[in-house]
Amino acid sequence: MRFEPTEEQELAQRTARDFAQRALAPRAAERDRTGEFPERELRELAGLGLLGIAVPEELGGAGAGTVAYALALMELAAVDPSVAVAVSVTNMVAELIARAGSEAQKREHVPKLCGGDYLCGAFALSEPQSGSDPGRMSTSATRRPDGGGWALRGAKQWITSGDRAGLMVLWANTRPGSGHKGVTAFLVRGGAPGLGVNRREEKMGLCGSSTVGLSLDDVEVGDQDVLGPVGGGFKLALGALDGGRIGIAAQALGIARMALDAAVAYAQERESFGVPIARHQAIGNLLADSATWLEAARLMVLRAAWRKEKGLPFAKEAAMAKLLATEKAFEIVDAALQIHGGLGYTRDAPIERGLRDVRVTRIYEGTSEIQRIVIARHILKEAAGG
């Protein structure tokens, strides 16, 4: 296994870093205050090839692979996690359609996701009563009387970019009462008749990322909008979430790296008892632990990304990476705030925003508790020889 990025991976990382410093850094704090959606930034990211990093070039993507995607997302999240999460979800939706869609679906939708024509994508799985348990979803898909398509009815919750996405993958149950066996994925265009957007959530962090509920009142979709087989949506969702966890773990690492860099710089400037606080053992220990956790989590994230890119099983590794990266990222940012003292608790330093932004990474794309369930199932199956 290579421990250094290839030229192509370095290019994706450098492109994301340069864009983040040039276009995101000047407005990140303002976006956090105002909640402005990063429309202009997403269109520029599309032009740079960062909305379809691992999508094949023939479908409009960069074809750079999952490792490049993880590295690029770390760079974006280190400056503006609100933008990074919109990028992450759009990449996930584009990859899912590229992998599971029909040839017609791929040709019609994937280039528009990667190229910015749709602005961004959305992943509409969660519902008010079925977040971590999609088998309980109540959104229904009913055959139209003339047999020419489906009518979607129900509600979705916690949908990132749900009010801005030009296209979303939305899950509904075609066999109510059958659990996950009836779950089917549909392609739904933003603004479709009957698709309502509920209020935008006022969140603790990621304030520049739009999170909304959706209502579906007989939203009509055709048979050509069914993604994968009817009743096969549960498997598609799990596969997409496995890959999405790599993205969220990378996002957490970007935030943590920002916080650690700020803490190292501040600890060398701030003096107490006549010396920089970095020379006090208590502060040095916080920095040492944080750097060790960050590097360990980074290696786990890149290992999961590498396995996905090579076509190897990666679900367990992705769950492990997300669990470690998000849990330790929160501890790293908290330690950085402690090192900054009172300054870290104010909006004069980026640490306060980082702590609010990083907290949700332990929740979405599967909570830490769900990751432990996934990991345990895998290791028990392996122990049984499965």
**With contact defined as beta carbons under 8 Å apart, do 152 and 182 qualify?**
no
Q: Which amino acid is at 241?
A: L
User: How many Å apart are CA 177 and CA 180, to the nearest integer?
Assistant: 9
The tokens for 13 are 């990382």
C-alpha to C-alpha distances, 236 to 4, 25, 180, nearest whole angstrom: 32, 35, 11
Sign of CA dihedral 21, 23, 26, 32: negative
List strand residue ranges (DSSP E) for 180-293, in order.
183-189, 195-200, 211-221, 226-227, 271-272, 275-276
DSSP 24-83: IGGGHHHHHHH----HHHHHHHHHTTTTSTTS-GGGTS----HHHHHHHHHHHHTT-HHH
Residues belonging to the active site? 365
Terminal Cα distance for the chain, rounded: 25
**With contact defined as beta carbons under 8 Å apart, do 86 and 160 qualify?**
yes
